[in-house]
Chains A and B, each alone.
Chain A
Amino acid sequence: MNDDTATATNPTGNGLVGLIPVGIALLLFGWFLSLAPAIAEGQSLRLVWDWVPSLNISLSFLVDGLSLTFALLISGIGALVLLYSNTYLAGHPQFTRFALFLTSFMLAMLGLVLADNLIGLFVFWELTTITSYLLIGFGHDTTKGRRSALQALFVTGAGALALLAGFILLGFSMGSFELSVILAQADTLKAHEMYLPILILILAGTFTKSAQFPFHFWLPNAMAAPTPVSAFLHSATMVKAGVYLMARLHPGMSGTDVWFWTLTIAGAFTAVFASILALRQTDLKQALAYTTLMALGTLTLFLGQTSGYAMTAFATFLVVHSLYKASLFLVVGCIDHATGTREADVLGGLGRVMPVTAFAAGLAALSMAGFPPFLGFIGKELKYAGILAIGSEPFIFAAALLTANALMFAVAGIVALRPFWQRTGIALPRKPHEAPWPMLAGPVILAVLGALFGVYPDLLQTSLVDPTVKSLLGSMEDAKELQLWAGVNMPLILSIATVALGAALYLGHKRLRPALGRLVDASPQFDNGWDTFLAGLKGFAAWQTRIIQPGILRRYIFATFATVLVAIGGTMIARQAMPALPDLSDVTFQNVALVVLISAGALLTAITSSRIAAMAALGVVGIGVAMIFIVFSAPDVAITQLLVETLVVVLVAVALLRLPVLDQNGRDRRPVDAILAGAIGLSVTLVLLAVLETPLDLRLTEYFEVTSWPEAFGRNIVNVILVDFRALDTFGEVAVVVIAALSAYALLRTTHPRKDP
């Protein structure tokens, strides 16, 4: 089931919108190509633009062997894929977006591989994440498409956050965010106390991005994207970003036990695991996706090493894989485009109808299977050589690699041979036809390059492999020679074993599938795990939200007051701010009477079940407080208090006419609330007593007393403070009053009250 079916086969594609990106890609490719000779001579090119100097973040770019190899792959394959998709998605209503995203992705990817600043690199890293999210979600009409996009984003995004932490830690530890500076101090870095956390965090980023086990599950799902996207992102470029980063950091971080074991084991395991899964697939694209995983595992495995063989193998296989895998994806796209299906068991005998496609597929598949004289063969030989150079347990890893390669051999047959040669007799959804030339250009050129480099390995060696190895190891001398015939040696024997095992697997793959299926089903289901994780996350989120945000006001108020209590009472105890016992010697009868009056009014308000009693009791408190203001020389305040109290009673009396009685179900006694309330009251009293122990500095008041009449021409100091000394307060206050009135008015007038019964 493919969601990206082309709607037209017009080879002119989408006009300028489709061709401009191709032009951009070609220009970039040309530029990189022009840099190649200089780089091959061991030079490097560095461009720096101070981006955020205050954070030591620059947009610095470094073109060396490693980055140039990637840049050429990205821009070259990019140009072909863009050309291809122009036809593949001809007339699609969202093509413009597609082209924009794909071009952006390409540029971001270039930025990623060229960046020499950790944070700059991270920015591009995340840009590839976003653009790939949008590209995977191109089939956004389906739940599956959206799920895949989210999954890819989430998994790689999670890794990216770890990566960011790792980068920051790395940058702080080494005193610079410039990669070239950091990598120049490899010994310091490896000896740094933060080495291990840095490594773990960065590997979390690279493993997720490069879909290493157990983060691999998002990649096959990402095949929901249109086929050109899969070809470009999920085989040739983006998934290799993780690999790239490990390679980039290799000079600075490799060589430790942790590095070696982590990368080697994860890589090997991913390779074997993925190739087994690949054999099981019937959807051609899915099968390719799993072989991509296998390739990524292999590349990781090599990066775990430090030998010249391993590095050469890495560099070579990187190029080999990009060429054949992109080619094969595009071929699958052509088949899909022509027949309307990608099911391996349905497809067959297309060779006659689609000869050019078949040609490209054949070349690419042979390279993938590792037949001489293709580059794939050289790559495979180097892989075995590299694996045998591993310091410990080489044979275990060689066996793993053998298994993986054999499986890959079988998959190459399934994907690239069977659809063209072997008829199935099952009717195809569409009458097949040869793909138009823009769609053939990519697969053919890439496949031919694979063959070409196989025949002339020197071409690749000098231009890309040696400079890459130099980037990794610091010198080109360690690079091993690429050659088709290196004599009869262990790698060759392993190659022969691979072919034999692979052929057997190919012939028996249909019978093997059920067994593989059982094996896979028995192992942990990471893709289902994703669903479980999401459901768990949502469930947990919903649960915590129900607990914290239940929608019940009383709980909110309770929590708020409980916090108040902890904040005041808790701090009083923790910070030993307790007051001494208060001095009550100056207390008079009048004072006690006032206090009793207010307290009685307050308690009555709290306990009465008659709303009128409550309201009247409130009035008592108000009157009592006014009496305090009278006793303690605040006539203005007392007047205001009494007036406001009166208005409060008036308003409540009006409001109550429409409100029900307080408790229909009798009084509710709330001991817990009472304890909380009492504790808060006690805390407030204690704080206040403590405050009253400190002497009060009256200089503000003294200033007001001295200036009130001579300078502000007023004899009521309180009023002078209100309208002159602190007029701004008063202004704000009257604004509050106006707005309170407007709000209350609006509240009464906008709403549509409940209909009377």
Chain B
Amino acid sequence: MNSIILRVGTRYLCGLLVLFSLYMLIRGHNEPGGGFIGGLIGSTGFVLFALACGTADARAALKVMPQNIAMAGLGIALLAGIAAAVFGDALFTGQWLFINETPEDKGIPLSTVLVFDIGVYLVVFGSILSIVFAMEEEI
């Protein structure tokens, strides 16, 4: 796609979309967002990349095969669920660690739930890209 305008726009938008997707991912537990939405937005960034600059460039920018990203995401989500076993809890029981916890404020939360959401993000991201890239390469 030899549109200069689109290519240049993509250069900014792609990064913006990925950044925005991470933002949606992190805040998802408290505000609209989360792994699905984040992953969908993140993938649109690279979809745009692929539409504007071709899949070869998009794949090169991504470095890892999208299928592997997706499958690794599944693995991460699974591990987040299995992690509960270490604490003697049932599968997918959230494990929380609050950094800087004070009586008024819980501080910065780190949790297997967030890890799970990251896994979801990667799955959605990788899956959509593997479909779109493969499809793109067919035409």
Contact = CB atoms under 8 A, between A and B. Distances in A.
A511 interface: no
Interface in B71-99: 71, 73-74, 77-78, 81, 91-92, 94, 96
Contacts of A654: 132, 135-136, 139
Given A730-B120, A742-B130, A713 B106 contact: yes
Interface in B90-139: 91-92, 94, 96, 106, 109, 111, 113, 116-117, 119-120, 123-124, 126-128, 130-132, 134-139
B138 A714 contact: no
Given A714-B29, A727-B92, A655 B135 contact: yes
A646 B28 CA distance: 21
A636 interface: yes
Interface in B41-97: 41, 43-44, 47, 51, 66-67, 70-71, 73-74, 77-78, 81, 91-92, 94, 96
B42 to A, nearest CB: 10
Nearest to B139: A657
A728 interface: yes
Nearest to A655: B135
Nearest to A656: B139
Interface in A741-756: 741-742, 744-745, 748-749, 753
Given A734-B124, A738-B71, A745 B131 contact: yes
Nearest to B47: A650
B32 A639 contact: yes
Given A731-B77, A749-B134, A715 B31 contact: yes
B134 to A, nearest CB: 4
Contacts of A636: 32-34, 37
A740 interface: yes
A719 B123 contact: no
Interface string A704-732: 00000000111110011011100110110
Contacts of B111: 713
A744 B106 contact: no
A722 to B, nearest CB: 6
Nearest to A735: B74
B96 A713 contact: yes
A715 B120 CA distance: 19
A654 B136 CA distance: 7
Contacts of A655: 135
A643 interface: yes
Contact of B40 (A643, A738, A749): A643
Contact of A635 (B29, B32, B81, B126): B32
A256 interface: no
A684 interface: no
A734 B28 contact: no
B36 A640 contact: yes
A566 B43 CA distance: 43
Interface string A647-661: 100110011011000
B41 A643 contact: yes
Contacts of A643: 37, 40-41, 44
B43 to A, nearest CB: 8
A734 B120 contact: yes
A723 B139 CA distance: 37
Chain A, interface residues (CB within 8 Å), range: 35 or more
A391 B66 CA distance: 91
Interface in B1-58: 28-37, 40-41, 43-44, 47, 51
From A643, A654, A658, A719, residue with most partner B Cβ within 10 Å: A719
Contact of A740 (B40, B74, B96, B127): B127
B127 A737 contact: yes
From B74, B94, B117, B132, residue with most partner A Cβ within 10 Å: B94
A723 B120 contact: yes
A411 B34 CA distance: 93
A738 B36 contact: no
A654 B70 CA distance: 22
A559 interface: no
A647 B44 contact: yes
A430 to B, nearest CB: 72
A691 interface: no
A644 interface: yes
Contact of B131 (A646, A712, A740): A740
A724 B30 contact: no
A641 to B, nearest CB: 10
A651 B116 contact: no
A730 to B, nearest CB: 6
Contact of A734 (B77, B92, B139): B77
Contacts of B127: 737-738, 740-741
B134 A744 contact: yes
A487 to B, nearest CB: 94
Contacts of A748: 134-135, 137-138
B32 A728 contact: no
A6 B127 CA distance: 68
Contacts of A722: 34-36
Contacts of A639: 32-33, 37
A635 B116 CA distance: 21
A745 B67 contact: yes
Given A636-B33, A713-B109, A738-B73, 14 more contacts: A636-B34, A640-B36, A646-B44, A655-B135, A714-B30, A715-B30, A715-B31, A720-B29, A731-B78, A734-B77, A734-B120, A734-B124, A738-B126, A744-B131
Interface of B: 28-37, 40-41, 43-44, 47, 51, 66-67, 70-71, 73-74, 77-78, 81, 91-92, 94, 96, 106, 109, 111, 113, 116-117, 119-120, 123-124, 126-128, 130-132, 134-139
Closest 3 A/B residue pairs (Cβ): A741-B127, A727-B92, A643-B40
20 contacts: A636-B33, A640-B37, A643-B37, A650-B47, A651-B131, A713-B96, A713-B109, A716-B30, A719-B117, A720-B29, A722-B35, A723-B113, A728-B81, A728-B91, A734-B119, A734-B123, A737-B70, A738-B73, A738-B123, A741-B131
